Structure 1
Amino acid sequence: MNTVNRDAAALFAPAAVEIERRDDGSSILRCGIPLPANYARRVGEWLEHWAREAPERLFLAERNAAGEWDRVTYGEARRRVVAVASWLLEQNLSADRPVVILSDNSIEHALLMLAAMHVGVPSCAISTGNSLMSKDFAKLKANIELLQPGVIYADLVERFLPALHAIRPLHDGVVVAGGRSQPTPGCIGFAEIETRSDEVAVMRAFDRVGPETIAKFLFTSGSVGTPKAVVNTQRMLCANQQAKELVWPFLRGTPPVLMDWLPWSHTFGSNHNFNMVMRWGGSLYIDDGKPTPALLERTLRNLKEVSPTIYFSVPRAYDMLVPALRRDAVLRESFFRWLQVIFYAGAALPQHRWAELESLSQEAVGKRVAMVSSWGSTETAPLATDCHFQAVRSGVIGVPVPGTELKLVPSADKLEVRVKGPNVFPGYWKQPDLTEKSFDEEGFYLIGDAVEFVDPARPELGLLFDGRVGEDFKLLTGTWVHVGSLRVKAIDALKPVAQDIVVTGHDRDEIGLLVFPNLAECRSLCPGLPADTPADQVLANPAVRARVRLGLTVLAQEGGGSSTVPSRALLMAEPPSVEAGEITDKGYINQRAVLARRADLVQALYADMPDKAVIVAAAGVKA
């Protein structure tokens, strides 16, 4: 039996909430734990600290071409950061000529990002989908035109040559090829930018970096609207980690060990996870796998070798991980061995996945591992609320973190939430008009989400994410459909078939569901079906269709009226497209993009004489 602390009460600070109720029906929520004024001024302070205090401790590890782990200690990382930063100081860089990183997570990526921040130069990691999955590179071109980078890094650079050629007329920056790249004309190798170290100049620049210095630009995921470059200051990033320390005091005891795939082009993987590791002198193993059928096996291999103390992921990834944990005892034991916290974000975790994870942890280590979440956005760096307690159910996003205020404003029959605090961004880069529209008259950021209380009489039990205000719609009856809550409820009802769901019914009489299926689970419902059976044939199998019809029946029997009861569903063999914006890097489904791109399927769903692919709720079942 493991002796690692898994007791939620001992891991976290008690929830404390203060509420100011206003005459206009709005209210202000604050954390009862104050945020001190003397937290770190810049992210680089953490690297400097651990390079002095624990220079031989493992900081970063990644797989090399031979499949072995390449490792970098804190002392070595600091030495290499100073060398890279020395080169950056010679490149005439600034906020108007930042560093752009096109590649996936890697040790070199981390060193370049840290070196830029060390000397006050913003960096920007851009989603690899913009470079490697696009046909016209339209998003990447817009990114580069806006930023005008002075340095662009890519590894393996040969994979990025079409993208680099497409953006060549749009910038005058130096292209740096990663160390694993083939020699390429027009590029300098990463080894060349590490050849000289001017520590005096670097530390002089480091001393000038302060809370308002721009640390990085991060583009919004585009789940709603066009991606924008969010200014992330040193203050935002440092305030986030200080708030995390206050609500997760267990971090002071044992340096965290992470096995993490979440991309650094997104605030979850970069600002939340990477920074947490460095803040506490932990170790980050860069997972070269991802929650896709092609790359999942890499993640499973890595988790058999490295047992994390905290596991961060998104609901879509847990959909793929849970079946593997269920069938593989070796994986299960390794995964849960030292695990203190299972964390999900990006979307609500379906309740059946929550229950399975609890059951699996009980089986593996004799105790349920704490399962928590938080809420925020790229504009809040990202932490705005944190569920630093064992929630009563999935979907609880917790309470405001220290230093953050939430304004809850009645909107239709929802509570729109707005955010203010030192973690909130100052604006979108070079887009003052969008910046002005993003804040209300009191300076609260208009994040566009809705929340509700788990129990209005007991605010310390936390808030529930209630979807994005812009995703909700009305039926022809005038009744509002709350997409966020219905989506999670429907995924749970259609388990194990549904991996994700898009809710339809705008300006129609009834709700429908476009279902992204979990093909592995669908195959498990069809014993005797050959493993290579095409996806469309699996989805047409009577057992799969019967399970979906049963889920629709369950939803109807639970009642709630036309706004909560879907009448029909359609299983989609084509997975969500990253290039088309249907899914973000972190696995969140863009409802609006799916509905636009698959308008023909929506039409088929509502045809007077539905195609046989449409699954209709059993006749005679009433809400």
Structure 2
Amino acid sequence: MYDFYNDPAQLAPAQVLREIRADGSFILKSPEPLKPYARCIGEWLEHWVTVAPERPYLAERRGNGWFRLSFAQVRQRVGSLAQGLLELDLQPGRPVLMLSENDIDQALLSLAALHVGIPVSTVSVAYSRNTSGGCSKLKAIIQVLKPAAIFVSDGDAYFEAIRLTRPECPVLVARNAQEIPDALALPLLYKTETPAVMAAFHRIEGDTPARFLMTSGSTGAPKAVINTHGMLCANQQAIAQCWRFVEQGEVVVLDWLPWSHVFGANHNFNLVLRNGGTLYIDDGLPLPGQIDRTVENIKSVKPTLFFNVPRGYEVLLPYLERDEELSEALFGRLRMLFYAAAALPQSSWDRLVACARKVSSEPLFFATEWGSTETSPVVTNVHFNSNRAGIIGLPVPGTELKFVPSGDKLEMRVRGPSVFPRYLDDPVNSVAAFDEEGFYRIGDAGRLVDPEHPELGVQFDGRVTEDFKLTSGTWVSVGTLRTRLVSALAPYASDCVICGHDRDVIAALVYPTPALRELLGREGRTMNGSALAMCSEVRLALCAGLQSLAKAYPASSQHAARLIILDSPPSLADGEITDKGYINQRAALSLRADAVQRLYAENLGQDVILLAEVYGETA
């Protein structure tokens, strides 16, 4: 029987070198050196327009079907737009700032700018579409980036954001440009390409800025991270040396992940381009009312690689479990299922594997990687058979991963060609980001799956900055506990927030799923969290989850003793959740302060669900 995992043509062998130091720290790195990589992102486009000019490259939904552009068509449009950008004589070194959602216009404009050495920056759509606060976040970002130009897809949809921010630069608009005073309609930017385009292309060097990405702000105020052409090209080369199959077969990707984040932009968008694939831009989202479009698109596209965040899979899973046609479309020719951006609950992993087994006899290659906006993003990569969530793989070629003792954890730090040089115009934070050896302090903790066999990989161990102590002095690993609790409560919790800093017990705020409401039929659809918690069916279901976790992990620092069901989903506008579905613990605890107080009130309300109700302990 063919063994995909042990075929060196498909996956790199699971090997690692370890350097142990006297101070208790150690360094892991790949024994395989990083091979030569492209000078700039535009080299990938120039390559594929020569090798496979008629192959579909970009596609988006228009009407009832897909509008597709081949590599040759994309290159023609990129050259024409690049000429138009050069004729605008934009301020050197400053980015073209993209405010709108993923679409082909933004892709073409981004590729055109990158082709002639103009950096690009895409920010969360929420900053432009939520104007109730005067677009304060967007104003702050514009002040940091000082963009050379701003792009929006639709003048009608983004008129208010432009009016409130009053940018001092050209505004480029794909549709309805007349709605924004003095805006330049994007079609007018298409010019006849001249030799100036390729002259600018050849001047690009590895340290030329390519993207300015804003950090999510999950550990503080957002900062502008400089991603150079060299960083991005080195990172894609490292990925290809781990997942060798991306160079061996058809790469077809359906993706919704926003280009405002490193996952959607640097990882997915660049992986498709680097390997000559086809990117179908998914106009669905993992949200009620919008996931149906993703379901429709999966059935149409039948991807060979599929990327998502844990929250996205949680929303998609009920559809996969009841729709065999959808499972066949997703898993039928899939070479890899991938998750990142947050820890995946084991229950979600098990359910996805079960769905795949129903329609495919081939083992599911379920992979992940780990990194950050500052590391372009990949530091570690799973390129071996892993049967559980949380294992983040081994360092990719060219990258060193240092483990430094920090309390009862090991803080991970990173050095290599894919690590950013600095934050834009922020020397203080730039210096503080690196240790004395030049390793980037990423803020996450990790440990070896088996210290005697480091080749088995690294286990993610939460964010160092999120952890806290109980009054007993015991540390609580928030990241680890969160995923375990979501798994224990499955399928009734989409996510949770861990509470208990300087308290005697751990508690949790729970975001309910539709499955929890369905326990009560139609009546449950409109109930708030307190009303749901009063119902015996709901209490029993959630208490059973608390009980199972406490039995598996009896230590007080490893299970929750009480919880509250939240009334509303996490707020993107308020920074409680990022575009890619990662819960910001700090923001959530602040925004939900009233609920936290109810969890620790002297006289607990009836909407607080206790472990003691079924486990026989004092909560």
TM-score, length basis structure 2 = 0.96
Structure 1 residue 182: deviation in Å? 6.2
Is residue 557–residue 622 contact of structure 1 (8 Å, CA) maintained in 2?
no
> 1:529 aligned to 512, 516, 522, which one?
522
* Separation (CA, whole Å) in 1 of partners of 2:534 and 2:274: 50
* Separation (CA, whole Å) in 1 of partners of 2:228 and 2:314: 34
* Separation (CA, whole Å) in 1 of partners of 2:346 and 2:449: 15
* Separation (CA, whole Å) in 2 of partners of 1:183 and 1:68: 28
Structure 1 residue 553: deviation in Å? 1.3
Structure 2 vs 1, CA of residues 75 and 333 (structure 1 numbering), >3 Å: closer, same or farther? Answer: same
- Alignment partner of 1:269 is 2:268: no
> 1:577 aligned to 567, 571, 580, which one?
571
Of residues 281-290 and 66-75 in structure 1, the stretch that sits farther from structure 2 once superposed is 66-75
Of residues 384-393 and 428-437 in structure 1, the stretch that sits farther from structure 2 once superposed is 384-393
Structure 1 residue 224: deviation in Å? 1.2
* Separation (CA, whole Å) in 2 of partners of 1:242 and 1:26: 28
> 2:361 aligned to 362, 366, 391, which one?
366
Of residues 177-186 and 607-616 in structure 1, the stretch that sits farther from structure 2 once superposed is 177-186
Is residue 154–residue 177 contact of structure 1 (8 Å, CA) maintained in 2?
yes
Is residue 556–residue 621 contact of structure 1 (8 Å, CA) maintained in 2?
no
* Separation (CA, whole Å) in 2 of partners of 1:201 and 1:279: 24
Once the two structures are superposed, residues 179-219 of structure 1 have per-residue CA deviations (whole angstroms, 9 ceiling, x without a partner) of: 4766543212111111x123310000000001000001000
Structure 2 vs 1, CA of residues 182 and 612 (structure 1 numbering), >3 Å: closer, same or farther? Answer: farther
Query: Residue 478 of structure 1 corresponds to which residue in structure 2?
Result: 473
Q: Unaligned stretches of 5+ in structure 2? A: none
* Separation (CA, whole Å) in 2 of partners of 1:541 and 1:53: 63
Is residue 156–residue 176 contact of structure 2 (8 Å, CA) maintained in 1?
no
Identity of aligned residues (%): 48
Read off the aligned partner of 2:156 and give its amino acid letter: E
Query: Residue 54 of structure 1 corresponds to which residue in structure 2?
Result: 52
Query: Residue 590 of structure 1 corresponds to which residue in structure 2?
Result: 584
> 1:89 aligned to 78, 86, 95, which one?
86
Once the two structures are superposed, residues 286-315 of structure 1 have per-residue CA deviations (whole angstroms, 9 ceiling, x without a partner) of: 000111112111111111111010110000
Read off the aligned partner of 1:119 and give its amino acid letter: V
Read off the aligned partner of 1:311 and give its amino acid letter: F
Is residue 466–residue 484 contact of structure 1 (8 Å, CA) maintained in 2?
yes
* Separation (CA, whole Å) in 2 of partners of 1:616 and 1:275: 47
Matched position secondary structure for 1:566: coil
Query: Residue 124 of structure 1 corresponds to which residue in structure 2?
Result: 121
> 1:207 aligned to 179, 195, 202, which one?
202
Structure 1 residue 336: deviation in Å? 1.1
Is residue 95–residue 122 contact of structure 1 (8 Å, CA) maintained in 2?
no
- Alignment partner of 1:151 is 2:144: no
* Correspondence list, 1:486-565, <5 A: 486-518=481-513, 520-526=514-520, 528-530=521-523, 532-536=525-529, 537-538=531-532, 540-565=534-559
* Separation (CA, whole Å) in 2 of partners of 1:287 and 1:117: 23
> 1:387 aligned to 367, 382, 390, which one?
382
Structure 1 residue 158: deviation in Å? 1.2
Query: Residue 227 of structure 1 corresponds to which residue in structure 2?
Result: 222
- Alignment partner of 1:193 is 2:189: yes
* Separation (CA, whole Å) in 2 of partners of 1:208 and 1:505: 55
Matched position secondary structure for 2:612: coil
- Alignment partner of 1:75 is 2:106: no
* Separation (CA, whole Å) in 2 of partners of 1:419 and 1:280: 26
Once the two structures are superposed, residues 375-397 of structure 1 have per-residue CA deviations (whole angstroms, 9 ceiling, x without a partner) of: 00000000000011121311110
Read off the aligned partner of 1:56 and give its amino acid letter: E
- Alignment partner of 1:247 is 2:242: yes
Is residue 94–residue 121 contact of structure 1 (8 Å, CA) maintained in 2?
no
Query: Residue 23 of structure 1 corresponds to which residue in structure 2?
Result: 22
Query: Residue 399 of structure 1 corresponds to which residue in structure 2?
Result: 394
Query: Residue 423 of structure 1 corresponds to which residue in structure 2?
Result: 418
Structure 1 residue 97: deviation in Å? 2.9
Of residues 336-345 and 93-102 in structure 1, the stretch that sits farther from structure 2 once superposed is 93-102
Structure 2 vs 1, CA of residues 330 and 568 (structure 1 numbering), >3 Å: closer, same or farther? Answer: same
Once the two structures are superposed, residues 68-126 of structure 1 have per-residue CA deviations (whole angstroms, 9 ceiling, x without a partner) of: 21111100100000111101112232454320000111101011111111111111001
Structure 2 vs 1, CA of residues 456 and 180 (structure 1 numbering), >3 Å: closer, same or farther? Answer: farther
* Separation (CA, whole Å) in 2 of partners of 1:353 and 1:6: 25
Matched position secondary structure for 2:137: helix
- Alignment partner of 1:33 is 2:32: yes
Matched position secondary structure for 2:192: coil
Structure 1 residue 359: deviation in Å? 1.0
- Alignment partner of 1:103 is 2:96: no
Structure 1 residue 431: deviation in Å? 0.3
> 1:347 aligned to 325, 338, 342, which one?
342
* Separation (CA, whole Å) in 1 of partners of 2:92 and 2:510: 43
Query: Residue 294 of structure 1 corresponds to which residue in structure 2?
Result: 289
Is residue 6–residue 339 contact of structure 1 (8 Å, CA) maintained in 2?
no
* Separation (CA, whole Å) in 1 of partners of 2:564 and 2:130: 27
Of residues 369-378 and 537-546 in structure 1, the stretch that sits farther from structure 2 once superposed is 537-546
* Separation (CA, whole Å) in 2 of partners of 1:6 and 1:193: 51
Structure 2 vs 1, CA of residues 305 and 389 (structure 1 numbering), >3 Å: closer, same or farther? Answer: same
Read off the aligned partner of 1:177 and give its amino acid letter: V
Once the two structures are superposed, residues 324-344 of structure 1 have per-residue CA deviations (whole angstroms, 9 ceiling, x without a partner) of: 001112111111111111100
* Separation (CA, whole Å) in 2 of partners of 1:80 and 1:500: 43
Count the aligned residue pairs: 613
TM-score, length basis structure 1 = 0.96
Structure 1 residue 15: deviation in Å? 1.3
Of residues 84-93 and 217-226 in structure 1, the stretch that sits farther from structure 2 once superposed is 84-93
Once the two structures are superposed, residues 437-478 of structure 1 have per-residue CA deviations (whole angstroms, 9 ceiling, x without a partner) of: 000000000110000111111111111111110000011111
* Separation (CA, whole Å) in 2 of partners of 1:381 and 1:104: 21
Matched position secondary structure for 1:47: helix
Structure 2 vs 1, CA of residues 478 and 398 (structure 1 numbering), >3 Å: closer, same or farther? Answer: same
Read off the aligned partner of 2:15 and give its amino acid letter: A
Once the two structures are superposed, residues 226-271 of structure 1 have per-residue CA deviations (whole angstroms, 9 ceiling, x without a partner) of: 1100000001100011001100111111131001000001010111
Q: Unaligned stretches of 5+ in structure 1? A: none
* Separation (CA, whole Å) in 1 of partners of 2:500 and 2:598: 12
Structure 2 vs 1, CA of residues 612 and 134 (structure 1 numbering), >3 Å: closer, same or farther? Answer: farther
Is residue 428–residue 435 contact of structure 1 (8 Å, CA) maintained in 2?
yes
* Separation (CA, whole Å) in 2 of partners of 1:391 and 1:605: 37
Structure 1 residue 534: deviation in Å? 3.7
Is residue 257–residue 284 contact of structure 1 (8 Å, CA) maintained in 2?
yes
Structure 1 residue 538: deviation in Å? 4.7
Is residue 94–residue 122 contact of structure 1 (8 Å, CA) maintained in 2?
no
Structure 1 residue 523: deviation in Å? 3.2
- Alignment partner of 1:114 is 2:111: yes
Is residue 370–residue 378 contact of structure 2 (8 Å, CA) maintained in 1?
yes
Of residues 17-26 and 125-134 in structure 1, the stretch that sits farther from structure 2 once superposed is 125-134
Matched position secondary structure for 1:601: helix
Is residue 510–residue 563 contact of structure 2 (8 Å, CA) maintained in 1?
yes
